[in-house]
């Protein structure tokens, strides 16, 4: 069958989210994936360390309890579930101390108060504001098309909205300094801000409230990151659609100004009678449709798209026993923490890591986060064993070029492992069963739209955030080409596993085609007090 109501390019979670919603609205959709397996940034590998499940990209699914997909698409019924560990995050320091973030606010404040009473009080205030009071607003902002500044200011007023928007005056370091005083706590929050790989530039501080809102809602997908895209696929198929692998789209066919389907590398043409949606990166989409169909400012933006200064290099370990962190002696909850940060002891070290990445050097200070998933879901490792990973920040081009990742794989693995051992005492001898290094070059190889190892399909800089993602002339996922929509992470509200770009595009297509929805869209953002 090559005739569908709609064609979606890319079977990552955003393409599949769009397809699943529209399948629910009665359309027959084809989702085309160039790789032999689906998932994009939601992939789980079981081949590299046989018996161990490795989430090669996304591991921490954040804010799932505010994600409309779960209930709208009945994802539990289609096989997706997640675990939200009670001890959410911990940052370990070289002197053996640590800060621990719990789901329980009082326990978190007690941990912070060991370093600073003032920061504990500030955390409580921020929690009440962004994790409770303004949480529905933040979900509305994420799951609605970004608005131009004037319209946003019309909708958000009052002192709390003003405070929220004031974060745009800051870079990442100054936004953390604005809120916290203790050096360790500042160090934790600066690295936490980088969890979504925001660049440290003026204006990037605007992401603070949204990231803070998720500070205690990190979840682990049961059975592997891929379980989300598998569930979405089942929804698409239940609606009569198809998810087709090894389908490398080379061209978006535009006839009389309207997108009518796509051409594959093997010459096949797949027609989409009502729409074509692209879940791959914005510059590639412009090229596939024909740059001449877009106004010059959009073409220029596509040509100069910023992929980001830093990516992630992941060392996966197969272990007999879970890592034992030295800081567990300071706080036993360290041993139960899900998302674990280490590598940086102060803000200067955080800054030096990002400077080295920007200078395309393997960082002297390795810092980042990781987890031992099998501690929470035993299916991530063979019975009685464990899988753990740590992903320090790293540049795509390293020490002379991206190929250096291949030439020096063994050496880089060893350097990362040696660094990890400073914090964990048992990563050696009989306890260490195997290692696998997944580099920024591997990120790009596996996922052609994560160019230069781009974790978010395009850097988080003010010029690529909000209404600027990808460009104000392409509002709400629509393009100047009739019937052509954007639904990947370089559109909407960006990357991360939340399905927002797919959800926003699904609602835009429903509006344009006057389809009856089986769900109620999240209300537009509004705050008036």
- Within 13 Å and on the Cβ side, how many CA atoms surround 131? 16
Q: What would the DSSP string read from start to end of 132-147?
A: IITHHHHHHHHTS---
375-404 residues in contact with ligand FAD (CB under 6 A) are 391
CB of 233 to ligand FAD, least distance (A): 12
Distance CA 166, CA 205 (A): 9
Letters for 228-257 (x = contact with ligand FAD by CB under 6 A, - = none) are --------------------xx--------
CB of 114 to ligand FAD, least distance (A): 28
Residue 275 near residue 509, CB atoms below 8 Å: yes
8 Å CB contact between 392 and 414: no
In the set 131, 270, 302, 455, which binds ligand FAD (CB under 6 A)?
Answer: 455
Smallest gap from Cβ 198 to ligand FAD, in A, equals: 13
Shortest Å, Cβ 430 to ligand FAD: 29
- Restricted to residues 45-74, the positions that interact with ligand FAD (CB under 6 A) are 57-60, 62
Pattern 129-168, binding to ligand FAD, x per CB under 6 A?
Answer: ----------------------------------------
Among 5, 13, 173, 301, binds ligand FAD (CB under 6 A): 13
Is residue 42 part of the contact set for ligand FAD (CB under 6 A)? Answer: yes
Rounded to 5 degrees, φ, ψ at 347 are: -60, -35
476 binds ligand FAD (CB under 6 A): no
> In terms of CB distance, is 330 or 391 closer to ligand FAD?
391
Integer-rounded Cα Rg, in Å, for the chain is 22
Alpha-carbon distance of 172 to 196, in angstroms, equals 12
Where is 260: in which H helix or E strand? strand 258-264
Find the shortest distance in angstroms from Cβ 306 to ligand FAD: 16
Binding status of residue 495 toward ligand FAD by CB under 6 A: yes
Nearer Cβ to ligand FAD (83/113):
83
Burial, 225: exposed, middle or buried (Cβ in 10 Å; 0-12, 13-18, 19+)? buried
Could you tell me which stretch among 144-152, 412-420, 478-486, 491-499 binds ligand FAD (CB under 6 A)? 491-499
Q: Tell the smallest beta-carbon distance from residue 247 to ligand FAD (Å).
A: 6
Q: Does 367 bind ligand FAD (CB under 6 A)?
A: no
Contact 261, 276 (CB under 8 A): yes
The whole-angstrom separation of Cα 24 and Cα 73 is 8
C-alpha 123: how far from chain center: 24
Q: List the one residue from 19, 28, 40, 504 that touches ligand FAD (CB under 6 A).
A: 40
Q: What is the largest CA-CA distance in the chain?
A: 69
464 with 33: CB under 8 angstroms? no
- In the bound state with ligand FAD, the residue whose beta carbon lies nearer, of 215 and 249, is 249
Query: Distance between CA atoms of 255 and 494, rounded to whole angstroms?
Result: 29
Given the complex with ligand FAD, which of 16 and 156 has the nearer CB atom?
Answer: 16
Looking at beta carbons only, is 284 or 319 nearer to ligand FAD?
284
Supply the minimum distance, in Å, between the C-beta of residue 32 and ligand FAD.
Answer: 5
Residue 72 near residue 21, CB atoms below 8 Å: yes
Q: Is 514 exposed, middle or buried (0-12, 13-18, 19+ CB in 10 A)?
A: exposed
Cβ atoms 143, 522 nearer than 8 A: yes
454-472 burial, b at 16+ Cβ within 10 Å, e below that, comes to: bbbbbbbbeebbbbebbbe
Alpha helices in 359-399 (DSSP H): none
Binding mask 419-448 for ligand FAD (x = CB under 6 A): ------------------------x---xx
Complex with ligand FAD: residue 35 or 122, whichever CB lies closer: 35
Q: Is 350 in the site for ligand FAD (CB under 6 A)?
A: no
* 279 is an interface residue for ligand FAD by CB under 6 A: yes
The 8-class DSSP code of residue 121 comes to H
CB 226, min distance to ligand FAD, A: 11
Which residues sit opposite 261 in a β-bridge? 253, 271
In the complex, the smallest distance separating the C-beta of residue 402 from ligand FAD, rounded to whole angstroms, is 14
Report the SS3 class of residue 128: helix
Q: Which is nearer to ligand FAD, 184 or 456 (CB)?
A: 456
Per CB under 6 A, the segment of 401-409, 419-427, 495-503, 510-518 that binds ligand FAD is 495-503
* Site residues for ligand FAD per CB under 6 A: 9-15, 32-35, 40-42, 57-60, 62, 248-249, 279-280, 312, 314, 391, 443, 447-450, 455-457, 488-489, 495-497
């Amino acid at each position: 069958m090559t005739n569908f109501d709609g064609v979606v390019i890319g079977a990552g979670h955003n393409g599949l989210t769009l397809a699943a919603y529209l399948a629910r609205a009665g359309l027959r959709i084809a989702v085309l994936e160039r790789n032999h397996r689906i998932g994009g940034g939601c992939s789980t590998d079981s081949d590299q360390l046989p018996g161990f499940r490795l989430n090669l990209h996304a591991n921490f699914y954040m804010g799932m309890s505010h994600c409309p997909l779960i209930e709208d698409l009945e994802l539990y019924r289609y096989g997706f579930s997640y675990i939200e560990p009670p001890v959410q995050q911990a940052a370990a320091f070289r002197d053996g101390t640590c800060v621990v973030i719990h789901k329980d606010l009082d326990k978190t404040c007690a941990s912070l108060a060991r370093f600073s009473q003032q920061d504990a009080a500030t955390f409580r205030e921020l929690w009440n504001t962004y994790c409770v009071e303004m949480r529905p607003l933040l979900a509305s902002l994420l799951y609605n098309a970004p608005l131009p500044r004037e319209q946003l200011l019309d909708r958000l007023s009052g002192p709390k909205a003003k405070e929220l928007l004031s974060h745009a005056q800051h870079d990442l370091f100054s936004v953390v300094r604005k809120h916290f005083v203790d050096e360790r706590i500042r160090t934790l929050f600066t690295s936490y801000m980088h969890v979504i790989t925001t660049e440290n530039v003026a204006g990037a501080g605007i992401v603070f409230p949204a990231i803070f809102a998720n500070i205690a809602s990190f979840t682990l997908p049961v059975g592997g990151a891929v379980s989300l895209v598998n569930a979405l696929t089942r929804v698409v198929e239940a609606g009569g659609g198809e998810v087709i692998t090894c389908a490398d789209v080379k061209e978006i066919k535009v006839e009389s100004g309207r997108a009518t389907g796509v051409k594959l590398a093997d010459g096949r043409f797949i027609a989409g009678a009502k729409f074509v949606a692209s879940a791959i990166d914005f510059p590639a989409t412009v090229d596939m449709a024909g740059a001449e169909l877009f106004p010059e400012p959009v073409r220029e933006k596509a040509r100069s798209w910023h992929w980001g200064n830093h990516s992630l290099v992941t060392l996966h370990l197969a272990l007999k026993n879970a890592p034992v962190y030295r800081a567990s002696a300071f706080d036993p909850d360290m041993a139960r923490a899900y998302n674990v940060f280490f590598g940086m002891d102060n803000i200067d070290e955080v800054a030096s890591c990002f400077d080295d990445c920007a200078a395309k050097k393997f960082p002297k200070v390795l810092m980042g986060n990781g987890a031992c998933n099998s501690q929470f879901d035993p299916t991530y490792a063979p019975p009685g064993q464990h899988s753990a990973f740590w992903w320090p920040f790293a540049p795509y081009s390293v020490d002379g070029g991206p190929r250096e990742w291949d030439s020096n794989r063994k050496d880089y693995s060893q350097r990362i492992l040696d660094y990890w051992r400073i914090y964990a005492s048992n990563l050696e001898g009989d306890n260490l069963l195997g290692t696998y290094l997944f580099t920024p070059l591997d990120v790009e190889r596996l996922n052609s739209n994560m160019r230069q190892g781009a974790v978010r399909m395009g850097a988080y800089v003010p010029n690529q955030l909000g209404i600027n993602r990808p460009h104000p002339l392409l509002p709400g996922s629509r393009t100047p080409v009739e019937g052509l929509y954007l639904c990947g992470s370089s559109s909407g509200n960006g990357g991360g596993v939340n399905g927002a770009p797919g959800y926003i595009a699904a609602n835009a297509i429903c509006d344009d085609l006057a389809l009856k929805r089986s769900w109620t869209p999240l209300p537009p953002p509004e705050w008036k007090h």
